[in-house]
Structure 1
Amino acid sequence: MAGSGRNQDLLASLAAREESYDSEVKLQFGPMTSTYHTALKKETHPVVHGLFPSAAYALDLLDSGLPAYADRALQMLPVIAGLQDLRSDSPTYGVWPYFYEEPLDEMDSPDWNYADFIGKKLVLVLKRHHDHLHEELRQRLTEAVEAACRAIKKRDVGPGYTNIAAMGAFVTLVGGEVIGAEEFVEYGRNRLRRLLDYTMRLGTFVEFNSPCYTPITIEELHHVHTETNDPVSIDLSERLLHWAWKMTAEHYHPRTKQWAGPHSRSYSAMLRPGSFESRLLRNAAEEDAGLPLPRCPQELARYFHLEEERYFRQPIFLEEETGYQSYATTYIQQAYCLGSFSKDMMWNQRRNLIGYVDNGGKAAYVQLRVLKDGKDFSSAVFTGVQDRSEIVFGINMALDYGDWHPVLDPIHGVFEAEDLRIRIEIGGHTGGVELRAGPERELGFDAAAVIGEQTVRVTCLSAVSDLGVPRVALTLSEHDGTLGIDYVIYEGQRKRFNIHEWKQAAWVFLFTMSARTEELRAGGEHTTNEDVLNAWCEKRGRRMGISIPVKPGRIAELYRNNIVMLMDEEEVSP
């Protein structure tokens, strides 16, 4: 029965993608959504033929077992294979472009991960459907898999790039078995071993608690576990799967059905309905064995129904490698969850401070953002310390980072803007959410947001900036319906800013989320002799705090010099 259910799901998925198949190009098409790597713009290419969706579609067509679908897949596969770079002297040998419309040489920066993403689909085509491929196509796909394996081996991604480390291990290990290349089998096995050893040393994945990439890691390790014939790799993948599922299960918030923060990588503040990650969590929470998804280990399944209070902190780096440490702190209770990192950049894929709240039976989110002209500004640097529902955090500025992307979009400390602000954003289900400013000042807070039975409060403890004291504003976005408690740093005519010329640019805050206000003492002050901005919060005689340089600096220096004092341990982090 379970197999029948899986096949029905697959057929329904194929039917939904029918209208997106281009019978002339023999690829799937869809709206342009990519922002990284490609030089194509949505204005000139609103619709594109994507190679990864096409490779996934071709495999699903073959997996359906229907002759008509198989015929379509056999027409698509030569087109997909033909777009791979097979120039032996090319630096992108073995890699595919994103789109049919854009050759590799015309991309802004080719994405080497596509050797992994498309390679894994072709490995499964060869493994599962070898007998259905005519000889010429079989040889062409064998050549494609070999080239992808060589690209993956040459690039040799380390265990810090968690999901690609796992995916590349699958492509080389199982791909090597399928095409009869022992060098790739050995490489894939060793790559899994490296990933496990590194994870055990750190105590978690470097790609920490990512709602979009942890499920990919689970999927790839599951594929290794079910597809390889190598007993050593089966054992390694099983142990890694337990690590991945443990992190996932511990961060599930049953009441809101959201993935508690903080998140190292995420593409949206909330889980997207119908996405792989949403279905994976629903499958674990409902214990629905009929869904064709990897299963959560039974001993971890209880977390998907556990509404007891839990609070935990995890170091996420090997300090001897980075020269500093960052902690991930998560607080989960029945009605809400709240998570934060202690040090990171304000990239649009980071969730350095994020919470989820039960708002009348639906989920609302609360997220910290630093916005330049309405977009997340990755040159802003976050430092924070959390004790359950309270967070003291600060923002200062990096001289050598990017705009909307830290690396692909460098600004070298110089940018133009007409708006710069720090925002506490409330989104998701915002029905009934009430923003307050004036009355909350009497409690020592600048503003508050009442969400369901919880109240978010925030206040600026101190600000030291060449741009003056930020102005508090309550905002409503007509575009996406989000609300904001904003600290406006600059608003006016578009002008050029040079961070290198700034003598001071640092802001520190207190953030709380709870049904009722606890008795807290908090403050912030500028220590001029050290030129740092200090902020602290004291609760029941225990204190936590941060200390951040007021002058902009290079990102590595800020990560080392932004200091955190944890409340429970009462010690200063390196």
Structure 2
Amino acid sequence: MTVASPKPKPLASLTAFEQKQLHRAVAQARKDYDRANHMLRTPFASPGYHTTYKGETVHETRQSLKFAVALLDTGRPEDLSDAIDILNQVISLQDQDSNSETYGIWPWFLEESIQEMAPPDWNWADFCGTQLVEARLTHADRLPTEVLARIDESIRHAANSIQKRNVPINYTNIVVMGSFVVLMAGEILQDNKFTRYATERLKEFHSFTIKQGTFAEYNSPPYTNVTLNELRRLQRYTQSPELKERIDTLYTLAWQEIAEFYHPQTGQWSGPHSRCYETLLTPQIEGNIHRALGMENPDEVPSLEQHRLSHRCPDSLRHYFTQNSQSLQEPRTLTKIFSQDPPRIVGTTYLEPAFSLGSVNYSDLFNQRRSLLAYWGDTKQVRSLRMRFLHDDYDFTAMQFYSAQNLGNILAGIGFATDGGDRHPYFDRLTDGQFEASDLRLRFEAEGVRIDHTKASQVNCEEGYGIFELDGLYLSLQMIEAYFGKHRGQMEITQTSDRYIIDIVFYSGPRKTFSFPEHGHKQQVAIAFNASLSSTPDTSAPTTASVCYDSSGWTQYTWNALEIEVKTTPASLEYMKRSVE
């Protein structure tokens, strides 16, 4: 039964620029509106997991709800009918059976049911619930009673799902987003159970994050951006003074993370990134930063909800974003502890006017990681360099990365976890170190480079050594060891119109089974390299790394006063974390 909620909270007055951007976003999205199905139809795209759909276009649940809220925000009577149709349609796709395993969530697409997903995405209770809450809080006075009742029940189901799932407190963006949905559900439905849960979650998240000194999903452009957006929603709607103070602190912390890692010369968010879908900042994230600094771009392609967020960067952090900033007048190294708990995760980022280089002391090599990442060039032509390990042309999560960095020098090693993920850390974990592959390679991938400004010298493909001029950046790369079981890596160089790729190829041929059982297997996966990046050529002679093995399968590498320890005998994921202090 739906209980009468408090009066609507009208959307804050929009500036002329925000009004213009709202109407531009709605006009753009309307081109994709399928009135027959009451949803947006867009080209199919996938991160490589959750969905098994193979078609070319889809009707997205979350994006359609964003469109519905934006239609309501225009205030135009002619938009109201479409918004109601969308709300009714998307709500009908929610699993509202309280006995169901997927209770309270939605599928990604109209074309693929929750049951067809592999696996379903429980985060959709949070993502879709957020949009329903926004519609309910600000437009209840314009929506028919029967639609309000459906929205209220849908929000209740989403909030129940979020509370039941109760994600770990280190799942940064979903903890904040879910807390927003459940907190507002408590207010809308006048249900103290929801209010108490969300209040305690936000207090716990605040304490955990302040103790860590940063977000657990560290330095992640898309996820920190989502967290920033959800904190902004909480700032707008939260009534509790105690919660408001904690939320404001977290909001400032998010901006501090962005500011400290921002590289003004390239306009990029320096690595290492815990999670990232694209190596360069998306226009939406870039626009969020610029608008928060008071820089409005009339040519920006607006998102459907940016007018609701109205971010503002704290004045004390604005100096980090200017090219003549004191923060980059001299090179600086930012060393940040991302996790105090074992394994202790530490990032190192070297920033100078010409380039930035970031690395993390330990991570898996999931597709969303940017464990070693450099940017150089300028805002008009950004170049980037990232390191990956590919299994049949997709990032191999089971590979474990260890590194140490000083200025532009990095010493790194890679091991293999017998129960690590294939394409995802959790959804497709290996069993006893066994998998099939037709191609395995370590890749150093430079993007955005002009091919006529690249050059390689002193290359020895068999030894995995070379000096590379990459359109303004100089890379010296030397493989210390390169063994994947009985396969020894060979260097291979490929150039395309805007990429320069240095691969260490371990295997490329007929599909075969690789097996590295954790117990009793003596074959090593021993991969280690050193790299130096500089904005000027390095004429000094290369220094040799030292290698020290021990009987338990750990290998110690030392180079240029840098030292790492890598588990070079395949072992379980937990065991491979033991050397990380």
Structure 2 length normalisation: TM-score? 0.90
Displacement of 1:490: 1.6
Aligned residue runs from structure 1 range 20-419, under 5 A: 20-35=32-47, 38-42=50-54, 45-272=55-282, 274=283, 276-284=284-292, 287-288=295-296, 292=307, 293-305=310-322, 306=325, 307-308=328-329, 309-319=331-341, 323-358=342-377, 362-412=381-431, 413-419=433-439
Q: Judge conservation of contact 1:204–1:243 (CA < 8 Å) in 2.
A: yes
Residue 532 of structure 2 corresponds to residue 512 of structure 1: yes
What residue in structure 2 maps to residue 493 of structure 1?
A: 510
Does the residue aligned with 1:316 lie in a helix, a strand or coil? strand
| Equivalent residues of 1:471, 1:487 under 8 A apart | yes
Tell me the CA shift for residue 387 of structure 1: 0.7
Q: Could you report, residue by residue, the CA deviation over 1:320-351 in whole angstroms, capped at 9, with x for unpaired residues?
A: xxx32121111111010010110111111011
Is the CA contact 2:451–2:495 (under 8 Å) kept in the aligned structure 1? no
1:252-282 deviation per Cα after TM superposition (whole angstroms, max 9, x unaligned): 111111110000000111112x3x2121122
What amino acid is the match of 1:110? P
Supply the distance in 1 between the matched residues of 2:333 and 2:470 (Cα, whole angstroms).
22
The one-letter code matched in structure 2 to 1:345 is: D
| CA apart distance, 1:34 | 2.4
State the one-letter code of the partner of 1:434: T
Contact 2:354/2:377 (<8 A) preserved: yes
CA distance in 2, matches of 1:233, 1:463: 52
The letter for the 2-side match of 1:25 is N
Q: 1:554 Cα shift?
A: 0.7
What SS does structure 1 have at the residue aligned with 2:42? strand
Residues paired across the two proteins, number:
548
Contact 1:473/1:488 (CA < 8 Å) preserved in 2?
yes
CA separation of 1:362/1:502 partners in 2, compared to 1, >3 Å: closer, same or farther?
farther
Equivalent residue number for residue 566 of structure 1: none
> Residues 108 and 75 (structure 1 numbering): CA distance in 2 closer, same or farther, change over 3 Å?
same
> Deviation of residue 445 (structure 1)?
8.1
Q: CA deviation at 1:182?
A: 2.4
Q: How far apart are 1:437 and its partner, in Å?
A: 4.0
Q: Do the aligned partners of 1:447 and 1:485 also contact (CA within 8 Å) in 2?
A: no
In 1: Cα distance, 2:106 partner to 2:246 partner: 29
SS of 2:216 mapped into structure 1: coil
Amino acid corresponding to residue 537 of structure 2 in structure 1: R
SS at match of 1:340: strand
Q: Which residue matches 1:568?
A: none
- What is the DSSP-based 3-state SS (H/G/I as helix, E as strand, rest coil) of the residue aligned with 2:578? helix
How far does the alpha carbon of each residue in 1:96-144 deviate from its partner, in whole angstroms, 9 at most, with x for none? 1111122222222121111110101101111100011111111110111
Are residues 1:527 and 2:529 paired? no
Judge conservation of contact 1:364–1:430 (CA < 8 Å) in 2: no
Task: Pick closer, same or farther for the CA change 1:195–1:432 going to 2, 3 Å.
Answer: farther
Comparing 172-181 with 153-162, greater Cα deviation is found at 172-181
AA partner of residue 373 (structure 2): I
> Of residues 565, 569, 572 in structure 2, which corresponds to 1:554?
572
Is the 1:420–1:488 Cα contact (8 Å) retained in structure 2? yes
Measure how far apart 1:12 and its partner are.
0.3
Alpha-carbon shift at residue 521 of structure 1 (Å): 3.3
Q: Distance in 1 between matches of 2:94 and 2:552?
A: 55
Q: Secondary structure at the match of 2:289?
A: helix
Unaligned 5+ segments in structure 1 are 564-573
- Contact 2:464–2:490 at 8 Å: present in 1 too? no
Measure the CA separation in 1 of the matches of 2:379 and 2:89. Answer: 50
What's the offset of the Cα at 1:468?
A: 4.1
Is the 8 Å Cα contact of residues 370 and 386 (structure 2) preserved in structure 1?
A: yes
More off after superposition, 73-82 vs 207-216 = 73-82
What is the CA-CA distance between 1:394 and the residue it aligns to? 0.5
Instruction: Indicate yes or no: 2:523 matched with 1:503.
Output: yes
How far apart in 2 are the matches of 1:517 and 1:440?
18
Q: 1:530 to 1:90 in 2, by over 3 A?
A: closer
Distance 1:470 1:496 in 2: 18
What is the SS of the residue equivalent to 2:15?
helix
Matched residue of 2:196: which SS? Answer: helix
Deviation at 1:289, TM superposition (A): 10
Alpha carbons of structure 1 residues 54 and 60: separation in structure 2 relative to 1, 3 Å: same
Percent identity between matched residues is 30
Q: 2:469 aligns with which of 450, 459, 464?
A: 450
Alpha-carbon distance between aligned partners in 1 of 2:448 and 2:169, rounded to the nearest angstrom: 34
Q: Which amino acid aligns with 1:282?
A: H
Does structure 2 conserve the Cα–Cα contact (< 8 Å) formed by 1:531 and 1:549?
yes
- Residues 245 and 493 of structure 1: is their aligned pair in 2 closer, same or farther, counting only changes over 3 Å? same
SS at match of 1:206: coil
Contact residue 265 and residue 349 of structure 1 kept, 8 A: yes
Aligned in 2, Cα 1:67/1:55: closer, same or farther, shift over 3 Å?
A: same
Partner letter of residue 528 of structure 2? V
Counterpart-to-counterpart distance in 2, 1:435 and 1:495: 35
Return the letter of the residue paired with 1:298. Answer: D
Instruction: Confirm or deny: 8 A CA contact 2:391 2:441 kept in the other structure.
Output: yes
- Say if 1:346 and 1:37 are closer, same or farther in 2 by CA, change over 3 A: closer
- Conserved 8 A contact 2:338-2:347: yes
Give the match's secondary structure for 2:255. Answer: helix
What CA distance in whole angstroms lies between the structure 1 residues aligned with 2:248 and 2:489?
51
Task: Tell me the distance in 2 between the aligned counterparts of 1:439 and 1:471.
Answer: 12
Shift of 1:310: 2.2
SS, match of residue 220 in structure 2 = coil
Distance 1:83 1:451, change over 3 A: same
CA 420–198 in structure 1, closer or farther in 2 if over 3 Å, else same = same
State the TM-score, normalizing by the size of structure 1.
Answer: 0.91
Aligned-partner Cα distance in 2 for 1:137–1:257:
44
When the two chains are superposed, the root-mean-square deviation of aligned CA atoms in Å is: 2.2
Distance 2:78 2:554 in 1: 68
**Alpha-carbon contact 1:167-1:220 (below 8 Å) kept:** yes
Do the aligned residues in 2 keep the contact of 1:359 with 1:452 (CA within 8 Å)?
no
Opposite residue 26 of structure 1, the aligned amino acid is H
1: CA distance, partners of 2:291 / 2:452: 31
How far apart are the structure 2 equivalents of 1:472 and 1:440? 8
Q: What amino acid is the match of 1:302? A: H
Letter in 2 for 1:484: I
Q: Does the 8 A contact of 1:96 with 1:114 survive in 2?
A: yes
